[in-house]
């Protein structure tokens, strides 16, 4: 019996020596890289992007990562990081240098932005008669806004200048975020927005602009890449995609939430690029 016990102990010791990796703790990661993206919780799939965020960009490249709902992380060649519609529910997995927000409801802004963010740009002014006006330059990124109106959810009327279309200029491209857009655009607003290469468009068709109105806006903007957002479900997304196909727009369903765009590789005709998330 003693010999059997001794043999068992020797076998156990050998197994422990043969498998040291199983006992090791995983390497520690930075807290911001461990954060989950709430925007993808509904889909039940993890957002596999932290490794991509560590990759350097060429001088003509911009990386766009969908965090969910109306929030994107935009990264410039000099790695200026911009978070759109920054709020308490959906945030990118890294701290941005610039956070832009809109006023429609709490999934588009926060009253408590992280104090470490150097530039927090609110898309609404102190009163309906004082619209927000931003035009800032941070290294290789310029951010400006064009105010638009939104519905007043309490009275059913109109809140003047409660939304902003933010335009992000970098790598010789102009990227626009339509925010919580509730109406088509005037010629004055289109002139102020200017040429757009990539546009983030809310396509829910009910809480923001209806589908016909959104198609009209996108045709007026003439962006070469349209990235849908604010669609809540596959049903509302595909309702918009079917309408886009009627207008002969190409539709691409991306497998990952991050993409890199350059001026020279923009499509010649409008293309809808769907990044995974809601």
User: Residue 108 pLDDT > 70, yes or no?
Assistant: yes
DSSP code at position 185:
P
pLDDT of residue 40: 29
For 2-55, the pLDDT digits (tens) are 343 344 444 333 333 333 333 333 333 333 323 322 222 233 333 344 444 557
User: Could you tell me the CA-to-CA distances from 31 to 36, 95, 111, 258 in Å, in that order?
Assistant: 10, 11, 23, 21
DSSP track, 94-117: S--SEEEE-SSSTTS--SS--TT-
Burial class (CB in 10 A: 0-12, 13-18, 19+), 34: exposed
User: Where is 163: in which H helix or E strand?
Assistant: strand 158-170
pLDDT band at 103 (very low <50, low <70, confident <90, very high): confident
From the number of C-beta atoms within 10 Å of its C-beta (0-12, 13-18, 19+), residue 9 rates as exposed
**Element (DSSP H or E) covering residue 50:** helix 50-53
Four-way CATH pick for 38-274: 3.60.15.10, 2.30.40.10, 2.60.40.420, 3.40.50.12160: 3.60.15.10
Q: How far apart are CA 172 and CA 263, in angstroms?
A: 7
**Over residues 103-113, mean pLDDT:** 85
Quote the pLDDT of residue 192.
Answer: 96
Q: 6-20, 72-86, 106-120: which has the highest mean pLDDT?
A: 72-86
- Percentage of the residues of the chain whose pLDDT score is greater than 90: 67
Residue 128, pLDDT score = 80
pLDDT, tens digit, 9 for 90 and up, residues 122-150: 999 888 889 999 999 999 999 999 999 87
Give the mean pLDDT of the chain: 83
pLDDT score, position 54: 55
> What pLDDT is recorded for position 53?
53
- List phi, psi (to 5°) of 76: -90, 170
Most confident of 20-24, 107-111, 200-204: 200-204
In the prediction, which pLDDT does 155 show?
76
Buried b (16+ CB within 10 A) or exposed e, 152-181: eeeeeeebbbbbbbbbbbbbebbbbbbbbb
pLDDT of 89: 92
Q: What is the pLDDT of residues 203-248, one digit of tens each?
A: 999 889 999 999 999 999 999 999 999 999 999 999 999 999 999 9
pLDDT at 28: 38
| Domain extent listing, the chain | 38-274
């Amino acid at each position: 019996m003693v010999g059997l016990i001794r043999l068992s102990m020797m076998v156990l010791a050998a197994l422990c020596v043969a498998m040291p990796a199983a006992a090791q703790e995983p390497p520690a990661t930075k807290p911001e890289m461990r954060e989950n993206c709430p925007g993808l919780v509904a889909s039940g799939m993890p957002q596999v992007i932290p490794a991509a965020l560590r990759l350097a960009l060429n001088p003509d490249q911009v990386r766009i990562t969908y965090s969910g709902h109306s929030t994107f992380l935009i990264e410039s060649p000099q790695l200026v990081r911009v978070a759109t519609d920054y709020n308490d529910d959906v945030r990118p997995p890294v701290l941005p240098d610039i956070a832009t927000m809109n006023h429609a409801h709490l999934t588009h802004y926060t009253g408590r932005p992280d104090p470490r963010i150097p530039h927090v740009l609110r898309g609404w002014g102190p009163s309906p008669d004082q619209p927000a006006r931003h035009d800032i330059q941070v290294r290789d990124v310029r951010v400006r806004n064009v105010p638009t109106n939104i519905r007043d959810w309490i009275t059913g009327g109109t809140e003047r200048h409660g939304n902003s279309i933010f335009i992000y200029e970098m790598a010789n491209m102009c990227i626009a975020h339509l925010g919580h857009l509730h109406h088509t655009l005037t010629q004055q607003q289109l002139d102020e927005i200017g040429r757009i290469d990539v546009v983030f468009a809310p396509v829910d068709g009910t809480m923001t602009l209806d589908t016909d109105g959104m198609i009209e806006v996108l045709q007026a903007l003439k962006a070469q890449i349209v990235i849908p957002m604010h669609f809540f479900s596959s049903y509302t997304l595909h309702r918009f995609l079917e309408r886009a196909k009627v207008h002969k727009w190409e539709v691409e369903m991306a497998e990952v939430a991050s993409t890199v765009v350059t001026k020279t590789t923009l499509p010649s005709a409008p293309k809808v690029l769907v990044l995974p998330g809601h």
